[in-house]
Amino acid sequence: MSDSDFPTTLNNAEKQINKAKELASQHLGIKAISVQLTTTQGCFSKTLEVSLQDGRSVIIQFRIEVLDAEPFFHARNLLGDIVPIIEAIHDPELVKVGIWPFYMTRIPGKPWMEFEDVWNETQRATCSRSLGRIFSRCFVEGNTGEVVGSTIIPNLHKLRTLALEKDDVKPFSAFIAELIEEAPALKTLPLFFGHLDINEMNVLVGENAEITGVIDWELSPPPQPFGVACYCIQFLAGEIIDKVFRQRPEFEAIDREFWAGLLEDIPTKNRDSLEANWEAVQTAVMIGTIFKVMSIEGDEVFVSKIRLDALPMLMRYRIPALRGSSKAYSD
């Protein structure tokens, strides 16, 4: 986010540092010693790491749009300290000029992306299994059938309409129609609170390759049937090079360890539900994938050209429980 996006009161690093120092001291009642700009924990904001007199480091964010903190609260209730505490800071003068300040606890670790060039297959697999164990803690109570009927199927119909209207999406109209037909099976699955966009920047990792934090929850949707959020493993195990999606050499290990970690810690009643309905889970993963390629915001649909080009491959993915010893992408 550029300094030019901010009003004159906060349009350079010096002003941002001074204001963050002031707000941290005011909000926490502890003297701030030093401040530095950071990109970690900084989606859609100017983000600063503040060192306090008591030895802690905290995060102060300046945002130019209102943030809905409710998904953070929900995620933290499920996952504990790997999700940061987040609190709005009272500053009417900043709000008056279109800036919303927030305090967050600082999560240790570095973004997954920073380990990309140094990890071996074992470390990638360890991180992926750690993510699976985190996913196993995100099951929630609720009426899956209601979500399928009110959200999943209507959104698929929006994509089907788009596919009939746009030439670049038209080749996938039959696939979307098939998902509409199969979607009622998702009613057999438990509800799951998933992150909107798990990626290499919002997953924080320690030197031991175990996940230390998951951030940027603000746009996360209400709970959906399990499997929809699991689309992310294809993108984490794959990579985009020169605008083309490819499998990493370690794709199989990353993918299988994610699912193994999830099943390792899953509550028994949810495990039983999944094991009786793996085809429904497969459908849910495909629905999550198509929603990632064609994202719905209100009545508008936004299509990612890079992901659309990858869709012929992505739609061939099979989860480990169904493919057995075969590769992830069926012929």
Is residue 160, in this structure, part of any structural domain at all? yes
Is residue 156, in this structure, part of any structural domain at all? yes
Specify the pLDDT at position 42: 66
**Are residues 118 and 73 part of one domain?**
no
Q: Counting every residue, how long is the chain? A: 331
Q: Alpha-carbon distance 195 to 294, whole Å?
A: 17
Dihedral pair phi/psi, residue 239, rounded to 5°: -155, 155
Interhelix angle 173-182/153-165, nearest 10 degrees = 160
Q: Which region among 40-49, 164-173, 247-256, 302-311 has the lowest average model confidence (pLDDT)? A: 40-49
Specify the pLDDT at position 41: 66
- The total of structural domains in the chain comes to 2
- Residue 197: pLDDT above 80? yes
**Are residues 187 and 98 part of one domain?**
no
Looking at residue 84, which CATH number applies to its domain?
3.30.200
**Are residues 122 and 12 part of one domain?**
no
Q: Give the alpha-carbon dihedral of 105, 101, 61, 53, to 10 degrees.
A: -50
Band of residue 3 on the pLDDT scale cut at 50, 70, 90: confident
**Are residues 165 and 55 part of one domain?**
no
**Are residues 260 and 230 part of one domain?**
yes
**Are residues 273 and 201 part of one domain?**
yes
pTM of the model: 0.93
Of 178, 195, 186, 141, the closest CA to residue 278 belongs to 186
Range 101-108 average pLDDT:
95
- Residue 189: pLDDT above 80? yes
Is residue 185, in this structure, part of any structural domain at all? yes
Boundary residue ending a domain (78, 105, 132): 105
Specify the pLDDT at position 118: 92
Specify the pLDDT at position 300: 86
Looking at residue 164, which CATH number applies to its domain?
3.90.1200
Boundary residue ending a domain (105, 123, 149): 105
Is residue 330, in this structure, part of any structural domain at all? no
What integer best gives the mean pLDDT of the chain? Answer: 94
**Are residues 162 and 101 part of one domain?**
no
**Are residues 155 and 71 part of one domain?**
no
Specify the pLDDT at position 243: 85
Boundary residue ending a domain (55, 71, 105): 105
Specify the pLDDT at position 40: 76
**Are residues 297 and 228 part of one domain?**
yes
pLDDT exceeding 90 applies to what percent of the chain? 85
pLDDT tens, 224-260?
999 999 999 999 999 888 888 999 999 999 999 999 9
pLDDT tens, 129-153?
999 999 999 999 999 999 999 999 9
Specify the pLDDT at position 43: 67
**Are residues 191 and 92 part of one domain?**
no
Band of residue 92 on the pLDDT scale cut at 50, 70, 90: very high
**Are residues 122 and 84 part of one domain?**
no
Yes or no: say if 23 and 52 are a contact pair by the CB < 8 Å rule.
Answer: no
**Are residues 77 and 119 part of one domain?**
no
- Residue 265: pLDDT above 90? no
Containing structural domain, residue 300: 110-323
